[in-house]
Structure 1
Amino acid sequence: MEKTIISTNENQNKNLFKFLIPSLFGLLLFVIPLPYGSLFKLEGLSPVNIGIGFLAELIKIFLADYLVNIALVVILTSAVLSVISKFINIKNEFIKNLLNVSPLWLSFRLLGALFIFMTVFKVGPEIIHSELTGEVVLGLLPSLLAIFLVSGFLLPLVVDFGLMDLLGTLVSKYMYKLFKVPGRAAVDTISSWLGDGTLGIIITDTQYKQGFYTAKEACIISVCFSLVSLPFSTVIADQLGFMPLFVPFYLTVCVASLACALIMPRIYPLNKVKNTTYNNVKHLKEDLVPEGVNIFKFGFEKAMDRASTAPSFKDIIINGFKTVVDMYLALLPLVMAWGTLSLMVAEFTPFFNIISIPVVFILELLGIPDAAAAAPAVLVGFTDMFLPSIMVSGDGISQITQFIIGALSITQLIYLTETGAVILKSDIPLKLKDLFILFIVRTLIALPIITIISKLIFSI
C-alpha cells in the first residue's frame, strides 16, 4: 500500500512538472506580451509582442537577405515534387498526401511557382510582378515563413500540456453562452491578437483534428476569433496617419469585432454548419464545472490529466517538422497564386469598381463622405488586408472616411492573401464561397458600428 502511495505521488509530481514548465513557456510565447522592442535594440522589432511574434521578427531581421530566396526555393520545390509524384509510387503516407494532390491544387502550386519566379527575377508581364501585385505578396512571404517555422515546433506547449485546458475552463462558462465556442478558444484569440491571425487558425485546425472542436466551433473560431494582430493593426494606422489616434482606432476595431463574434454564430452561414467532429474522432468536449466545485481547482485537474498524456520531446520534434513542411510546401504556393491573382483583378480590372456600385448607396445612406471613392475599398479587402487603406490614403479622401475604411479593413478579417488561404488549406470545412459570404456578413455588421463610433470620435 505504501509503495502504491509513493508511486502515485511520484506520478502526480511528474505530471505537475510536465504541466508547469511547458505551460509557463507556452504563456510567455503565446499569451503574455512583453516590451521586447525596449529590451533588444534591434530595428524592426515591435515595441510590445508575444514571444512567438518576437522570435518570428528575429528570424525576419537576421535572415532578411535570404527569406525571399528561401520562399522561392520552397515554392519551386513544391511544384516540381508535386509533378514528379504523379509519375512515381510514393509509399510514405505523409509524403504521398503532401505531394500527390488533386489537379486543382496542383495547378495552384504550379501557378504559385510561376508567379514567384517572375516576381523575383522581374520577367514576363509587369501586371504579374509589379509593386502592386506580385511584389505585395512576395513581401508577405517572409512573415509567413517565420511564423510557420516557430509555431510548428512550439505550438504543443500550449495545446498538449494542459495550458489550454486550464485557461479554457476558467472562461468556458462565458465563452459558450456568448459565442457558442469552448473556453479554450480564448487562447486562439489571444495568440491571434498579440501574434498573428494565421497563428490562431493553425491552433484552431490542430484542435479541430484532435477532437476538441466540432466543425461548427472550428468555423466560428477561425472567422470570428483569429483576429488581425496588434502589430499589423499599427501598420494600417500608421499608413493612414492615425497613430496619434491609435487607442480609439483600435478600440473601434475591438467593439466591431466583438459585435461580429456575438452575432455571426447565430446567423447564416455559420448556424448551418454541423456540430460533427473531424473524421468522427471522439469529441473531447469541455466538462461543465460541477456545482460547488472551485473552477480553478477543476481546471487544474483537467490540465494535469492532459499533461499525463502529453507527447514526448521526440514526437514534438517529428510532428513539428511535419507541420512546418506541410505548411511550407502546401500553403506558400497557394498564398502566392491566390494573392497575385486577386491583386491583379483588384488593381488592373474594373471588377471591384463594378461590384461596389451598391456599396456607394450604403455609404451614402450612412453619411460617409467620398462614398464613390471609398466603395471599392470596402470590398477589395477580401483580396488583401492592406489594399483598402492604400486605396483611400490619398489627399482627396476625407479623414473620417480613411478612419472608417482603415478600421473596417482590420475588422473584415478574411483575406485571400493570408487568413483566407490558410483556412482553405486547413481541414476546417469552409470553402471559398463560404469565406466570401462571411466576409460580406462581417462587413455589413461592422460598417454601421464603425461609422457611428468614428463620427463620435471626430465630433469630439
Structure 2
Amino acid sequence: MIGGQSWENSDHISGESVQPEQKSIDDVTIEWRTRPLLKFLISFITGGFFFLFPVQWEGQTTIPLDILMSFITDASFLAVEVFVLLILFAGGILTTISMLHYQGTISLNDRTQRLLQIGYWKTSKPFWAFRVIAIFLGVPMFFGFGPELILADGIAGIVWDVLMITIVLVIPLGGIFVNLLAELGGLQFIGTLAQPIMKPLFNLPGRAALDSAASWLGSFSVGYYLTRNVFDRGGYDKREVFVICTCFATANLGTVGAVAAVLELLHIFPLLVALYMIATLIVAAILVRVPPLSNVPQEYVAEPNPEPAFTGTVSEYFRFALNQAMQTAEDGDPIHRAAIDGFVDGTKLTAMILGTVLTIATTVLLLEAHTSVFEYLAAPLVPVMSALAIPDPQMAATAIIGGAAEYFIGATLAVGTDIATKVFVVIITSAQAIFFAASAPMMVDMFDDVPMRFRDLTLILVLRTALLIPIAAALTHGVAALGLI
C-alpha cells in the first residue's frame, strides 16, 4: 500500500521527465469588456454577500442566508417539513429505479433515462438501502406516530427538527449563491489568484486551484468531476489527482453552513470558514510530502499536457484573474439562469444525501443514546482532547470518530456542547475530506484507474485526523484568546 508500485500501470505514460512550458502573463491578451465585468461583479458580490457578509439581525451577528432561512421557516414550518418528506421520497424512489435499471430488472428507454438522469442516482447497494430506509424513518417522524425509540426528543428532535430542516434549506438555497460564484467567474477569479502558491506549497499545477475552489464553492463531487475531466485530457498525473481529491475536496461552503446552522454558529460563519480552510491548507502542505501520497507515481492516462508555468507580478496576476473571470462570465448563462440551475443542482444533491444522512444519523444517535460503542471507539482520543484542553473531551472525540462515517453526523454530535468544542469539531470534520458515506466510495468508483483503494483512503483519513487535531486545537484556542468566540 505504501509503495508506489501499488498504483503503477505499464499501459500508462510516465510523466517524470515532462517539463511545463514557461510563459509570462504578458503573453496573454487581456481585454476589458464592461458587460461581462459587470456580470462577474454582480454574481461575485451577491454570492459572497449571502454566504460571508456579517450582518446584525435580532441582536446577533449572522449572515444573510441565515436570515432568509428564518423567513422561510417562520412563514410555514409545515411546508418545509413537507419538502423534506418529498425529497426523501424522491431520493429513495429515483435511486431504486436507477439501481433496478442497471441490474437489468427493468429497462428504461433513452428518453426516460435522460429525463430522470438515471446515472446520477446510481450508487452502491448499502447506500441504496440507506435511502429507502430513510423513507420509513421519515414518515413516522413527520406524522409523529410510531416507535417511541425513534420519536424521542434526543432522536427525532435532533434528526428531523434540526438536521433535516437545516439541510433541506441550506443546500438548495446555498446552491443558488454558490452557483453564482462557481459558474460566472468567481471560481476562475479565486483559482487564478491562487496559482502562484499551488506549486511551491502543494506540488500541484496552478489549475488545481480551480478544482479546489469548485469543491469548496460547489461540492466534492463537482471537484471530482473537474479533476477527472482534466486527468482524462493529460492535465494531471496520478499523484496530482490523488492529492487534489484527498487533500482539497473537503466540505463545501454550503454544507459547512448547514452544520454551522445546526450548531447555532452562523453568527461566526466567516470565521469558521477561515479556520477550516487554514487547517486544510496546512494539512495538505504536509501530506503531499509524505507517504502514501508522495509514493503515488507521476503517471498519465493520456498524452501529458502539463500547464504552462506563468510568471508575473501581483498586479499582473490580479488583472489576469479578472480577465479569466470575465471570459467565464461572458460565456456563462444569464445570472437568473445560473441561480435557478444552482437551486436545482442543490435540490438534487440534497435528494442524493438526505436519506443517507437520516438513516445514518438516526442509527448513530440510537447507538450513542443506548450503547457505549462510540465511547469505546473514541476512548483513545479522550486523553488527547483533555491534554489539548478541549471542553467536553468525550463528545469531541466521539464527533471526530463519527465524522469518518458521515460529515454531518460527526459535526452535529457536538450539539449542546461548549462553543469552543463546536468550533474545534467543525474545523476537523469539515477538513477530514474522506468519509465513508459518500466521498470515499465515489473516489474509488470514479478514479479506478489511479487506482484509489479503501485501505489507502483509510490510511490518509487517519493521517489527516491526526494532523488536524492539534492544528484545530491551536486555532480554536487562538480565536478564543482573541475573544472571537
TM-score by length of 2: 0.66
Distance 1:184 1:294 in 2: 17
Residue 121 of structure 1 corresponds to: 143
Distance 1:190 1:248, change over 3 A: same
Residue 385 of structure 1 corresponds to: 411
Distance 1:305 1:367, change over 3 A: closer
Residue 119 of structure 2 corresponds to: 97
Residue 110 of structure 1 corresponds to: 132
Q: How does 1:165-244 map to 2 (within 5 A)?
A: 165-180=188-203, 199-201=218-220, 204-205=223-224, 207-208=226-227, 211=230, 215-216=241-242, 217-223=244-250, 229=256, 236=263
Structure 2 residue aligned with 1:448, among 462, 470, 482? 470
Contact 1:360–1:372, Cα closer than 8 Å, also in 2: yes
Structure 2 residue aligned with 1:410, among 420, 426, 433? 426
Contact 1:211–1:283, Cα closer than 8 Å, also in 2: no
Residue 92 of structure 2 corresponds to: 79
Residue 6 of structure 1 corresponds to: none
Residue 22 of structure 1 corresponds to: 39
Structure 1, residues 16-63: CA drift from partner, whole Å, max 9, x if none?
35532332233223334676744xx6x6x97343x6666555544544
Structure 1, residues 420-449: CA drift from partner, whole Å, max 9, x if none?
756368667688777765554343223334
SS of 1:47's equivalent in the other structure is: strand
Q: How does 1:272-421 map to 2 (within 5 A)?
A: 287-290=308-311, 294-311=316-333, 316=338, 320=342, 323-324=345-346, 326-363=348-385, 375-376=397-398, 378-382=400-404, 383-388=409-414, 390=416, 403=420, 405-414=421-430, 421=437
Distance 1:154 1:282 in 2: 37
* Aligned-pair CA distance for 1:351: 1.0
Does residue 67 of structure 1 match 2:80? yes
SS of 1:132's equivalent in the other structure is: coil
Gaps of 5+ in 2: 1-29
Question: Highest relative contact order (Cα 8 Å, sep 6+), 1 or 2?
Answer: 2
Distance 1:442 1:111 in 2: 32
Structure 2 residue aligned with 1:47, among 52, 56, 61? 61
SS of 1:111's equivalent in the other structure is: helix
State percent identity of aligned pairs: 19
Aligned-partner residue type, residue 323 of structure 1: D
Distance 2:299 2:35 in 1: 31
TM-score by length of 1: 0.69
After TM superposition, the structure 1 stretch with the greater mean CA deviation from structure 2, 68-77 or 371-380, is: 371-380
Quote the RMSD (CA, aligned, Å): 5.0
Aligned-partner residue type, residue 109 of structure 1: R
Distance 1:331 1:46, change over 3 A: farther
Structure 1, residues 131-150: CA drift from partner, whole Å, max 9, x if none?
33343222222332223323
Residue 4 of structure 1 corresponds to: none
Residue 7 of structure 2 corresponds to: none
SS of 1:296's equivalent in the other structure is: helix
Gaps of 5+ in 1: 1-11, 394-401
Structure 1, residues 84-126: CA drift from partner, whole Å, max 9, x if none?
5636432233422245655333212111111212322344433
Distance 1:333 1:407 in 2: 26
* Aligned-pair CA distance for 1:75: 0.8
SS of 2:61's equivalent in the other structure is: coil
* Aligned-pair CA distance for 1:327: 1.6
Aligned residue pair count: 422
Distance 1:314 1:423, change over 3 A: same
